[in-house]
Amino acid sequence: MWQLTFRRIAIGFLLVWVVSVLIFAITQILPGDAAEIRLGQDATPESVAALRREMGLDKPAYMQYLVWVERLLSGNLGVSVAGGATIASLIEHRIGNTLFMAGMVSAIAIPISVTIGLLAAMFPGGLIDRIVTTATLGLVAVPDFLVAILLILLLSVELNWLPAVSYLSGTESFWQTLRALALPIATLVTVVAAQMIRMTRAGVLNVMSSPYIEMAILKGVPRRRIILRHALPNAIGPIVNIIALNLAYLVSGVVVVETIFAYPGLAKLMVDGVQARDMAVVQACGMIFCTTYITLILIADIAAILSNPRLRHPK
C-alpha cells in the first residue's frame, strides 16, 4: 500500500513539473512583451532594452524558466505588469473568494448528489430513476454559461430576487455575501451535481451486478442495506474521483461563471491577466490551477486505494 501511495505521489510531482514547463513555454510563445506593456507605447527602444535586462527577459528561455521556478518555490511570484502590484498580493486577495465559493458549492452539491444517486440506484428502472436519469442527462448537456444566463433572466431580471453581479466590497455580512453569491453558487451546484449524481448511480449499479451482491439478494438482505453496507464501499473509488474532478473544476474551471457574474475570484484574475497581456499573472494562476487539479486527483487516487482492497492487491 505504501509503495503504491509513494508511486502516486512521485507521479504527481512529475506531472507538476511537466505542467510548469508547458505553462512557461506556452506563455513565452504568445505575442506581447512585458517590458513594452509596462512602459507603454511612447517608450524608447533604449528604455525598453534596459527594462528587459532588469526583468531578465534578455536571457535565454531556459535561464528564464529556472529563475521563474526558483521564484515559485520561494513564494516570490514577481510583479504584475498591468498594475505594478505584487502578484502574491493579488492572488492573496482573490484566492479566498474562490475557495469560499468552492467550499459553499461543495457543501451543498456533494451531499445532495450522493443522496440522489443512491436513491436512484435503489430503484433502478423505476419512476425516480427515470426522472433522475433524464434530468441529469439534460443538465450535463447544458453548458454552464447557459445555466447562468437563464438564472439571471429568471431570478434577477424577471423576479428581481437576487443581484445579477456578485460584487463584494469586503464589508458585507455573511448573509449579504450569500445573497450576492446565490446565483453563481446555484449555477455551479447545477452543473457539478448532475455529473456526480450520474457517477454515483453508475458506480453503485456496476457493483450491484457482482456475485457477492447477488448472494446477498438471494439471502433476502434488504436492498437499502445491500447498497449502503456492501455496494457503496466498493463503489467509492469512482465516486471520489468524480468528486475530486468537480472540486478541481470549482477552483480552476469557473472562468466563465466568474466572468459572467463579475465575481472577484482567481479565475477572473487570470482572465484580466490575459486581456492585459500580463503573462506573470497568467503563469502564476495557471500553476495554482494545475497544481490544485493534480493534488485533488492524487488525493482521490490514494483514497480509492485505501478504500478498496482490490486496488491494493491487484493480483
CA dist 293 and 262 (Å) reads 23
Identify whether the C-beta of residue 72 lies closer than 8 Å to the C-beta of residue 115: no
Residue 79 has phi, psi (to 5 degrees) of -120, 140
Residue 221 has phi, psi (to 5 degrees) of -70, 135
- pTM score of the predicted model: 0.74
Identify whether the C-beta of residue 281 lies closer than 8 Å to the C-beta of residue 90: yes
Identify whether the C-beta of residue 203 lies closer than 8 Å to the C-beta of residue 235: yes
How does pLDDT run across 190-233, given as a tens digit for each residue? 888 888 888 888 888 887 777 877 788 778 878 778 777 777 77
Query: By percentage, how much of the chain surpasses pLDDT 70?
Result: 85
Q: E strands along the chain, which residues?
A: none
| CATH no. for 90-277 | 1.10.3720.10
> Cell for 192?
457539478
Please choose, from the candidates 33, 29, 17, the residue with its C-alpha nearest in 3D space to the C-alpha of residue 69: 17
Low-confidence winner among 5-9, 10-14, 109-113 (lowest mean pLDDT): 5-9
Please, which pLDDT band fits residue 38 given cuts at 50, 70 and 90? low
CB contact set of 174 (below 8 Å; sequence gap of 6+): none
Supply the pLDDT for residue 170.
Answer: 64
Supply the pLDDT for residue 33.
Answer: 64
Residue 92 has phi, psi (to 5 degrees) of -60, -35
Residue with cell 464589508: 171
Residue with cell 451531499: 111
Is the C-alpha dihedral spanning 24, 29, 30, 31 positive or negative? positive
Low-confidence winner among 43-57, 137-151, 280-294 (lowest mean pLDDT): 43-57
| Three-point CA angle 245, 98, 66, nearest 5° | 80
The mean pLDDT of 2-23, rounded to a whole number, is 83
How does pLDDT run across 42-51, given as a tens digit for each residue? 667 777 677 6
Domain ranges of the chain: 90-277
Identify whether the C-beta of residue 163 lies closer than 8 Å to the C-beta of residue 156: yes
Q: Which residues is 79 bridged to in the sheet?
A: 86
